[in-house]
Amino acid sequence: MNKTEFDICVIGGGAAGLVVAAGGASLGAKVALVEKNKMGGDCLHYGCIPSKTLLQSARVAHTMVHADKFAIPGHKPSTDISAVMERVAGVIKSIEPHDSPERFRELGVDVILGAGQFTDPQTFSVNGRSIRARHFVIATGSRASIPAISGIEDTPYLTNEQVFDLREAVDSLIIIGGGPIGIEMAQAFGRLGSKVYVVQRGPQILPREDPDMAEVVAKQLQQEGVELLTEHSPVKVEGTKGDIRLTLRDRAGNEKVINATHLLVAAGRRPNLENLGLEKANVNLQNGRIVTDARLRTSNKRIFAAGDVVGGPQFTHMAEHHAGVVLRNAIFRLPAKVETKVIPWATFSDPELARVGLSETEARQQGIRHMVYSFPFQDMDRAKADGTTEGFAKIITSPKGKLLGAAIVGPHAGELIHEYVLAIAKGMTAADLSSVIHIYPTLAQINRRVADARMKEGLTPTAKKWIKRIFNLRG
């Protein structure tokens, strides 16, 4: 029997896998990293980085059109999607060296490029090489899930893996899916000149968010000309490149046909688990995902899973969190567990929508006693100065004021939410936030203002009467 060669063998060079590999090597572990496609994974090549780069170009174009809002003559720019996508490619290229095989080899990681599979519970075979390790980490990521729509296999469509390769004009675009990916792409292409349709089966876009928060984003998209077809299900798609026809059916059973030059499918994700030999490794699956415990161990305790293959919130920052849990378990043998409650996320539309902890909807559904407080950006001086007054902040507290959740829809929500992330993680109250000095004039003041709303609620007429009497006030 071959002896164990590595401390850790990581399968997949995306966010989770790269953090495990780099972290393990820096701690003195002997690490192998197997990647069959591109180092950097979905986030670098097809997700976070290209989408935010595209959104920024679209934001600039939108600002130019509406420059009169800032007392500067506005004009509609002549946008060239090919040039914009070349900029996207350039940003990806500038980051690639950080995730390259060369850099990881310099860190001491044995990088192996190729597809492989488990041959037994302790061995992974790739390029004719049998790798035995003390621990394995499956971090192979996910890809777009393609819904069962009549004609979809015979019709040209895009997913997040092809959309950034576009170089031709996109006159019109149908997007199937109203989640974060679909909404971000809808606004980006709409601002760059495309006629955009978003098809969503449910009653609202961004279905994981409270309706009042999602509605702010929906209204902005509609003002920009994006057509939101909620409560519509795709029935049939047909056509050729440049001429796509999608048949929809609403809740009443009525059908309609929409036409566009391009089709983007953004209807969820599925894990990349094919051809890994998981059955030979004694790794169990359930509903197409790897079964793990709170420590990310699979049914084979020598094998961990991290990132999108585990299911749950599929974000790069969660993949990095998973990597930290794996390292603490695999190297330090600590019973570290995955955080399941204080998980922040953001949709980078304009306005942005960010959330952490319990939502108002979840609190009601779970029968949790709670209070809700909000404060609008239109009453924030900095928001008025910046001309970004749409949206509001909302906190959910226990009856005694402990922070249970927070959500922000408005400018820079993805940055502003982190104060709440820390506060909720540390078990703080609205009073704790209210008592902290916030710089004026900043958008971050909204976090104190919404906490102040909780404090002011306690100033009832009776309480005010007693204050006046105790302190001999004359007002």
Burial zone of 317 (CB within 10 Å; 0-12 exposed, 13-18 middle, 19+ buried): middle
Q: What is the pLDDT of residues 331-343, one digit of tens each?
A: 999 999 999 999 9
Question: In the prediction, which pLDDT does 2 show?
Answer: 65
> Using one digit for the tens of pLDDT, what is the confidence trace for 136-161?
999 999 999 999 999 999 999 999 99
Tokens 């779970």 sit at which residue? 366
pLDDT of residue 134: 97
**How many whole angstroms separate alpha carbon 449 and alpha carbon 437?**
11
Provide DSSP, 97-163: GGGSHHHHHHTT-EEEES-EEEEETTEEEETTEEEEEEEEEE---EEEPPP--BTGGGS--B-TTTG
Distance CA 373, CA 398 (A): 11
Do residues 346 and 352 lie in contact, with contact meaning Cβ atoms separated by under 8 Å?
yes
pLDDT confidence of 350, banded at 50, 70, 90? very high
The share of the chain scoring above pLDDT 70, in percent, equals 99
CB under 8 A, 24+ apart: contacts of 97-106: 99/13, 99/18, 99/39, 99/40, 99/44, 100/39, 101/35, 101/39, 104/18, 104/21, 104/22, 104/25, 104/33, 104/39
pLDDT digits (tens, 9 = 90+) for 207-246: 999 999 999 999 999 999 999 999 999 999 999 999 999 9
Q: For residue 80, give Cα distances in angstroms to 170, 192, 195, 455.
A: 10, 8, 15, 51
Give the model confidence (pLDDT) of 158-213 as tens digits.
999 999 999 999 999 999 999 999 999 999 999 999 999 999 999 999 999 999 99
Long-range contacts from 88-91, C-beta under 8 angstroms, 24+ separation: 88/50, 88/53, 88/54, 88/57, 88/164, 89/164, 91/49, 91/50, 91/53
Banded pLDDT at 462 (limits 50, 70, 90): confident
Among residues 195, 180, 165, 191, which one has the least CA distance to residue 88?
165
Instruction: Grade residue 468 by pLDDT with cuts at 50, 70 and 90.
Output: confident
- Mean pLDDT across 35-47: 94
Integer Cα distance of 111 and 13 in angstroms: 9
Mean predicted lDDT score pLDDT of the chain: 96
Give burial (CB, 10 Å; 0-12/13-18/19+) of 146: middle
- pLDDT of 254 reads 96
Q: Do residues 55 and 188 make contact, with C-beta atoms less than 8 angstroms apart?
A: yes
Which residues are CB-contacts of 20 (< 8 A; sequence separation ≥ 6)? 8, 10, 31, 137, 139, 306, 323, 326, 327
Half-sphere exposure of 303 (CA within 13 A, CB side): 26
Q: Give the per-residue pLDDT at 460.
A: 66
Nearest residue to 46 via CA among 35, 56, 38:
38
Q: Does the pLDDT value for residue 358 go beyond 70?
A: yes
Tokens of 235: 């029935």
138 and 124 Cβ atoms separated by less than 8 Å: no
Residue 370's pLDDT band (cuts 50, 70, 90)? very high
Instruction: Give the domains, in start order, of the chain with CATH numbers.
Output: 6-39+100-144+270-330 (3.50.50.60), 152-267 (3.50.50.60), 345-457 (3.30.390.30)
pTM of the model: 0.95
Secondary structure letter of residue 90 according to DSSP = H
404 and 357 Cβ atoms separated by less than 8 Å: yes
Distance CA 289, CA 140 (A): 12
Residue 119 has pLDDT above 70, yes or no: yes
Instruction: Give per-residue pLDDT as tens, 280-328.
Output: 999 999 988 999 999 999 999 999 999 999 988 999 999 999 999 999 9
